[in-house]
Amino acid sequence: MLTLAKLVVGLRGLLLLAVASAQGPLEQSWRGLRDVQTCQASSLGDSVYARLADSLDLYAGRGAEKQLHPNLRASTASVNVGRSCVQVVALDWDGELGGGVLVLDVKGGVLDAETEYPGARAVVAAGRGRVAFTYTAVKGSGVYDAEHVVLCPLSRDAWVECFRTTADRLARVSGVGPSDTAAFGMMMEQFGELHVVGDTAVITRRIVYQKYGQRHPEEFQQGVSRVLLPH
């Protein structure tokens, strides 16, 4: 005969079984979340950065002969793509004339190489697996153009550029006659600061310029704009 005590004990056992079953996936999900949160960038060392610079040369088709990488500099950021942790390395050498971006797996293997970003630097995580960095598009006499870029992962080994904006663009007027002193110093330099807040790129712009006949440059604040990034 089923007594009240046996009924209570039976119900209690079923309740504990249900709680234990529910905790299993929950504990796994929290464990996975903790794994995601511990994905952190680490310094790889000069010898590793030199090897990665050689890898960039190979991907760019410059590997027939050993290339030099003077003044090699590196910055790193680690991000999660799905449940995988990857490390993104930005390389800059030869005074922003060489460089690029590589994506590495946890063992240091190259997953992706972006060779079209000389002077790549200051790479940071930009949310949802994205990274942002600065590179130098043009550097020459009287002209300079650096861009902020955001790369978005389609998978851990396939990355695409999903946003870019001006970081520093300089143009100086040359070829002015020596007698035209009012033309001396004519220039324009555009600056942009990029911050990623959530899924929004926040860009603050300003311009420094000197017109014909001016003795000193002026500064003009262009304001702040916001762009929603892919997510």
pLDDT reported for residue 40? 77
Residue in the block written with tokens 């990034």: 229
Overall number of domains in the chain: 1
Q: Determine, yes or no, domain membership for 34.
A: no
pLDDT reported for residue 38? 64
Other Cβ atoms less than 10 A from the Cβ of 167: the count is 22
Q: Determine, yes or no, domain membership for 27.
A: no
Q: What is the pLDDT along the chain (231 residues), one digit of tens a residue?
A: 545 444 444 545 544 444 444 444 333 333 333 334 468 767 789 999 999 999 999 999 987 577 889 999 999 999 999 999 999 999 999 999 999 999 999 999 999 999 999 999 999 999 999 999 999 999 998 899 999 999 999 999 999 999 999 999 999 987 777 788 899 899 999 999 999 999 999 999 999 999 999 999 999 999 999 999 998
pLDDT reported for residue 39? 81
Q: Determine, yes or no, domain membership for 23.
A: no
Structural domain boundaries, residue 209: 39-228
Q: Determine, yes or no, domain membership for 32.
A: no
Q: Determine, yes or no, domain membership for 22.
A: no
Residue 71 region, left (φ>0) first, then alpha (ψ -120 to 50), else beta? left
Sign of CA dihedral 38, 42, 48, 49: positive
Q: Determine, yes or no, domain membership for 190.
A: yes
Q: Determine, yes or no, domain membership for 171.
A: yes
Amino acid at 103: V
pLDDT reported for residue 209? 97
Residue (of 168, 171, 211) closest to 190 by Cα position: 168
Q: Determine, yes or no, domain membership for 9.
A: no
